[in-house]
Amino acid sequence: MLRVVKVRLYPDVQQQQSLAQAFGSCRWLWNYFLNLMNQTYQETGKGLSGYEVKKIIPQLKKEHEWLSLTYSQCLQQVCLNLGVAFNNFFEKRAKYPRFKSKYGKQSIQYPQNVKVSASLNLDPERSRRVKITDNQLILPKIGKVSAIIHREIEGKIKTVTITKSCSEQYFAAILFDDGQEKPESIAEGKAIGIDLGLTHFAITSNGSKFDNPRILNKHDKNLKIKQQQLSRKQKGSSNRNKARKKVARVHRKITNCREDFLHKLSRRIVNENQVIVVENLHVKGMMQNHCLAKSIQQVGWEMFCTMLKYKAENEGKIYQEVDRFFPSSKTCHVCLNQVGSLPLDIRFWTCGKCQATHDRDINAAINLRDEGLRILRLRSVQVLTSGTGDKAMKCGLGGFPHEQLHQEACRPEVSRSHRGRKKSTTALSVGQEADTVPSGQCG
């Protein structure tokens, strides 16, 4: 299974100059080949692949001797990364590749020939794979760079990406294969639904509420002062460069605080639960609301869901997303009655059918959990009917109460508003759902 460890680097003055040369060479090569691809397409109507532009590197080294100062495989990796960027664009996974600037984040990638030296207490079997001396990263044409390796790196190193942030901090992202198989997902344990918000960052189906730290607001005054100082500096001056670094340090502090909060909360939720259900939010569309755009941007919902997903998958747990059009807030989780409208200023409401009083956010989290269990139940039933019963029993919902599963499988279809939205969160119809449970057991 592939894993990544990000470590902090502390290069000396000479190594910083060598890294700056490598960053500049790779950046220049990226911009050169991107411009060449654009011109070739405009003239011939056909593009160039990463492997085709890779053959031009020896000729460029003869024209520009300073390219030979950079490790050759780093230059070759630039061509391959550019080809991957175009493939992601054509497959609509990313935007069109852009030219790189020397004022932003800098990076180079070593595909091989990088050694990691860490003073960690490893057993003899592991020490055969990783060289054990001081905390250092041995880079070709750079040398031994001091590093803080805080985790064990056991296995074969695939790639090492060296980055320099805008605040002039150096990091190394080490991708390695630990030789272990990815654990199978088994849903035997506790299930939880999570409703994300702004007043409270996360509300769980068991009634827990986690406050929104609002980290940007705590540093807003300091950030405003630093940005005002930057705006008064003359462009191109050394003082402006110093002011730019001050602004970058404030943003680095905000980013570190946000990631620390998200990592701790996601780790806690994954450790305590086996099935995690969240709503598939369309954050980009929600950012169109200019009244809430700043609050939505600083909260980090997408990053939190990404952390939940990969942490759950690495431990053999289930991460399930529910369609964003599912009316989790407007549906009573007791009798499944749906109200017509529920404005955002109403935080508590009473069901007109069963007279149950609900907290808006907790009720939404419970409905998300139930809907996620229903989707997983239907998925396991489909696997059972396809003739792979053993696999379905292994990855199904055997750990949940039998009555709860029948209730979720018989859950009626919830209607939608008349705005052209979907009427169901799954591809199955109500009749097909009812066939999964014996007749006479659904009330």
Which residues does the annotation mark as catalytic? Answer: 195, 279, 361
Return d(Cα 87, Cα 249) in angstroms, integer: 34
Return d(Cα 188, Cα 186) in angstroms, integer: 6
Closest residue by Cα to residue 204 from 273, 296, 259 = 273
Q: Which residues contact 112 (CB under 8 A, 6 or more apart)?
A: 73, 157, 159
In a 3-state reduction of DSSP, which class is residue 1?
A: coil
Q: Which residues contact 141 (CB under 8 A, 6 or more apart)?
A: 18, 22, 69, 70, 71
CA–CA distance from 377 to each of 119, 129, 381, 400 (Å)?
48, 43, 6, 10
Return d(Cα 394, Cα 264) in angstroms, integer: 30
Q: Within 10 Å of residue 409's Cβ, how many Cβ atoms?
A: 19
Query: Could you tell me if 195 and 361 are in contact, meaning their C-beta atoms sit under 8 angstroms apart?
Result: yes
Give the angle 262-266-270 at the CA atoms, nearest 5°. 175
Closest residue by Cα to residue 74 from 177, 165, 159 = 159
Return d(Cα 67, Cα 64) in angstroms, integer: 6
Closest residue by Cα to residue 32 from 100, 86, 84 = 100
The phi, psi pair for 36, rounded to 5°, reads -65, -40
Q: Which residues contact 105 (CB under 8 A, 6 or more apart)?
A: 163, 164, 165, 166
Instruction: Locate all alpha helices (DSSP H) within 273-396, ordered by sequence.
Output: 283-286, 293-299, 301-314, 360-385, 389-395
Query: Could you tell me if 61 and 12 are in contact, meaning their C-beta atoms sit under 8 angstroms apart?
Result: no
